[in-house]
Amino acid sequence: MCVSRCIDKGQESYEQAPMYVAVMTYLGFGIVTLFGYFRDFLRAVGVEKRNIAQEREEQKDFVPLYQDFENFYTRNLYMRVRDNWNRPVCSLPGPVFDLMERVSDDYNWTFRLTGRTIHNAINMGSYNYLGFAENNADFLKTVAAKTQQYGVGVCSTRQELGTLSIHEELEQLVASFLKVESSMTFGMGFAVNSMNIPAIVGKGGLILSDELNHTSLILGARLSGATIRVFKHNNMHSLEKMLKEAVCSGQPRTHRPWKKILIMVEGIYSMEGSVVRLPEIIALKKKYKAYLYLDEAHSIGAVGPSGRGVTELFNVNPSDVDVMMGTFTKSFGAAGGYIAGKKDLVDYLRGHSHSAVYAAAMSPPVAEQIIRAMKCIMGSDGSTEGIRRVRQLAENTRYFRARLKEMGFIIYGNDDSPVVPILLYMPGKVVAFAREMLERKIGVVVVGFPATPITEARARFCLSASHSRAMLNQVLRHMNEVGDNLCLKFSRLKYSSCPDLCDETDFDSGSLYDP
């Protein structure tokens, strides 16, 4: 069965695999788990060497530092396939990159470099949506100049001596780009969520969080002390039910009204490739007098006619989003992130954000890189290069997704999303796919349990404006061959024949977090 949903801009599809695929996936995990217990027995009796950390004998009466059961997956399942992750890159992570070859003599417990370099592998795994992770001397002249002027670091917080004129220029530019009143920038994208959410909502508040939100959002919500409830991914019936209950019932036991209700969502979900249903969420937010926190880490610069994210994609007023968050690591080839919105909100965060009080300010060369990229996107540098890249990314995204569907792969997400998950399901096929693609000089990212549901392991492709049509065709040609060799084409549907079968009333309102 295929579940598809039209959301005005593009279509999302989530086709279910045949039953035998799920059965074989569980069987595969069952077999490696049984072998894992057998190998643990061999380690216990001294037949096999124990390589992982363990408690010292003289501390056996102490509270244990290492939980043996929690490490079971790492030492017996992940370790067998660890060569597919954390591969050392020795070049710019652009559309092509160089990898250092490594081998293991002890079943992936340790690696050694062979001295050989894999040159010009096509990079299909980096968040480089607009291709600004580049090494063009002509484009980077201003960055080099700012490095000479300011140095590479500030070594102070924004509240002390860390605010420079270049930070103020960047914040004004971000606010102008997003069409909001004000913005504040931070040196680390993860900390934008984890350190600012506790300043926005606290005890007595309620956070309604999408079940697929990023770890940084989850951490920020937990640190806030607010009550957390989780609604089913992109499901408006689930969200509205929780909003109704929150407004009608209030806080547990006392039934007092919540001090604040904050809806937290992402623009593009990095593991699913789905796009937030923003107009409907804004309508619910207004109806129930809640606030909206929008994380645009993957959508800012990557979607919308001029790269302004999901607010532009859906043609909604940015002022309808109370807190706009984004990062500079994906579309801008830099680091850090921002919070944007009304001036009162930003001024409040300048004095209450943990990042502003304790973290070092953004590096000036990084700030200049963001300014350079953002001006290019806006066209204020006098060129059309930025808008060309935005359009090229959109063209590459739709072309790549359409061709994969034609081949018979099951892919998730929205037609406009440059994040393209291809479902591989079985653990053996995941590692075989990654190794086979690298043999063909194509670098891919594969993801499995516990980062995904146990039956939905996948490869995640990230499209870039810097990918040429020839590169994409080469990847697609190899994908077609590998898909046939490994029997990865699980789709039972013809291209564009998927019916609209989405039934949002079937949801589970259970929370993934402790309140």
Q: What is the pLDDT of residues 181-197, one digit of tens each?
A: 999 999 999 999 999 99
pLDDT over 70 for what percent of the chain?
93
Q: Which helix or strand (DSSP H or E) is residue 123 part of?
A: strand 112-123
Per residue in 140-182, pLDDT (tens digit) is 889 999 999 999 989 899 888 889 999 999 999 999 999 999 9
Confidence of residue 225 (pLDDT cuts 50, 70, 90): very high
Judged by average pLDDT, the poorest of 49-53, 353-357, 392-396 is 49-53
pLDDT value of residue 504: 43
> Mean per-residue pLDDT for 354-363?
90
CB 424 within 8 A of CB 457: yes
> What gap in Å lies between CA 391 and CA 408, rounded to an integer?
26
Residue 207: pLDDT over 90: yes
Q: What is the pLDDT of residue 68?
A: 66
- pLDDT (tens digit per residue) in 20-45: 998 999 998 899 899 999 988 998 88
φ and ψ of 12, to 5 deg: -110, 140
| The pLDDT of residue 508 is above 50 | no
Q: What is the DSSP letter of 361?
A: P
Stretch 119-138: mean pLDDT = 91
Q: What is the pLDDT of residues 1-18, one digit of tens each?
A: 555 554 445 577 788 888
pLDDT of res. 64: 75
Residue 59 confidence (pLDDT) above 90: no
The per-residue pLDDT for 475 is 97
* Predicted local confidence at residue 403, as pLDDT: 95
The kind and range of the H/E element at 122 are strand 112-123
Q: Which amino acid is at 398?
A: R
Over the stretch 421-472, which tens digit does the pLDDT of each residue have?
999 999 889 999 999 999 999 999 999 887 888 889 999 999 999 999 999 9
The per-residue DSSP string of 396-446 comes to: HHHHHHHHHHHHT--B-EETT-SEEEEEEESHHHHHHHHHHHHHTTEE-EE
Average pLDDT of the chain to the nearest whole number: 89
Cα gap 261→205, rounded to integer Å: 6
